[in-house]
Amino acid sequence: MTAEPLGHAAAGEPASPAASAPPAASASAAASASAALPPTVDVVPVVPGLHMLRFPIGQAYVWRDDDRGGGPASLTLLDAGWAGAEEVLVRALRGIGGPGARLRRIVLTHAHRDHVGAAGALAARYGCEVLAHRLDAPVVRGEEPVPEPDLTEWEVPLYERGIATVPEAPPTRVDREVEDGDVLDFGGGARVVHIPGHTPGSIAVHLPRHGVLVTGDTVASVGGVAFGVLHVDRAAAVESMRRLSRLEPLRVVCFGHGDPLTADAAAVLRAAAEAARA
């Protein structure tokens, strides 16, 4: 597929600020209200080559590989935020990549709506490939339903007033189904780590050369690094979190929700994993 240079994409006007979601009479009504306005996206530098794209709920990441010969940069999008956010993402990607940069791939950590959202629209626009684990790929494509999380009592309002208010992701093509241990061609060799539990096909992406780990939603850092929420299989998710804590090297850890961890990352993640309980 031939990717469209980011510098040639239509810009559009700045998005209107997204209104904060009121208590919803139903999850579907809240999602419809949220879909009325494009979400705002904050672009946050993390470390050289890595930016976070922060949505009202959830976040995505962009990895930039510079061409050693001085050619256009290559970008990899790790998760794709909300449906309807493609225009704000186009502007963010252009700002990160510079003139002529190309979006080469979108890697989905799992099949939830706040991670898949704009992937299909961006893939169609730029001709980039979309990657997901084989167990979540049918959900991303709309061939199977999103698996229901095993909610604790305190997670029910969190679900109803959080993820359920995000616009549903449309069925999205998956060009490549990945497996544990696959090495992807960015960041000096990015490794896929299968971490079932949040969803059956959840993955993390580890960039050993840079010590960067993107965890998806198995781990969160809202009020401190801790076990994530809304898992399909909580026991499996705990074991997956512990597996992530054993990866080396770990200098930066990026989460689906909450601020990236850039100080004492390995020790902090290890302690959080030891404290995690299903």
Determine the 3-state secondary structure of 42 from DSSP: strand
Residue 2 in domain: no
Domains in the chain: how many in total? 1
Residue 170 in domain: yes
- pLDDT mean across residues, the chain: 88
Q: Which domain holds residue 180?
A: 24-275
Span of 35-39, 134-138, 163-167, 245-249 with lowest mean pLDDT: 35-39
Asked if the model's pLDDT at residue 119 lies above 60, the reply is: yes
- Estimate to the nearest angstrom the gap between the alpha carbon of 188 and the chain centroid: 20
Residue 14 in domain: no
Residues ≥6 apart with Cβ < 8 Å to 106: 76, 77, 78, 79, 80, 119, 122, 123, 128, 129, 130, 131
More confident residue, 278 or 43: 43
Sign of the dihedral defined by the CA atoms of residues 137, 141, 129, 104, in that order: negative
Given this model, what pLDDT does residue 37 score? 54
CA nearest 39: which of 55, 59, 23, 22?
Answer: 55
Residue 1 in domain: no
Asked if the model's pLDDT at residue 5 lies above 70, the reply is: no
DSSP state of 45: E
Segment 261-274 mean pLDDT: 98
Asked if the model's pLDDT at residue 20 lies above 90, the reply is: no
Q: What is the CATH number of the domain that holds 261?
A: 3.60.15.10
pLDDT in tens, 213-260: 999 999 999 999 999 999 999 999 999 999 999 999 999 999 999 999
